[in-house]
Amino acid sequence: MKLKSFSTLLAFLGFASFAQADPLAVGSAAPDISAVDQDGKAVVFKDVYAKGVTLVYFYPKADTPGCTKEACSIRDSWGEMQKKGIQVLGVSGDKPEAQKKFAEKYKLPHTLIADSDNAVAKAFGVPVTLGFVKRQSFLIQDGKCVWNQLSASTDKQAEDVLKAFDTLPKK
């Protein structure tokens, strides 16, 4: 009986990881959603988008090796991103307290979104497996997705984003 229950659980988990919406496609409208940041303050995504090109990147868990490399890649290129006017929202399923510790420990200058109910991930079509989002990134310009990276890099994330930004039409 236990073996049957275990195999049923595995089958369900396998189905759950494939029963996701498609990731936000280039040309699609950016999700109009709100969530809380590392300080527990509400962040209205459309208000961030209105300030300029916005990177929304998803990472599985704060303060883990790959996620730290990804966030620090952005931190280390922060000056260049700011010169280009890129807004940055990092999103994971962590609670605000964990996001705040992560931001403070690594001196991350950008906003971290605490998506503990995975509503933001769902809005962007980012897969969630066993509570962890897949590492994916999106650039939003004028309310639309203009670039996505569905298997985002860790230590080269900022480099990838800056290259993509440089290919965008300039106003």
Phi, psi of 7 (to 5 degrees): -70, -35
Task: Round to whole Å and give the CA distance between 159 and 76.
Answer: 10
8: left (phi over 0), alpha (psi -120 to 50) or beta: alpha
pLDDT at 20: 56
Q: Is 145 annotated as catalytic?
A: no
Eight-state DSSP code of residue 77: T
Q: Which candidate, 91, 121, 105, places its Cα nearest to that of 63?
A: 105
* Active-site annotation holder among 24, 30, 67, 103: 67
Digit-by-digit pLDDT tens for the chain (171 residues) are: 444 544 444 444 444 444 456 889 999 999 999 999 999 999 999 999 999 999 999 999 999 999 999 999 999 999 999 999 999 999 999 999 999 999 999 999 999 999 999 999 999 999 999 989 999 999 999 999 999 998 887 889 999 999 999 999 876
pLDDT at 153: 79
CATH fourth-level superfamily of 23-166? Glutaredoxin (3.40.30.10)
Mind listing the pLDDT tens digit for each residue in 29-44?
A: 999 999 999 999 999 9
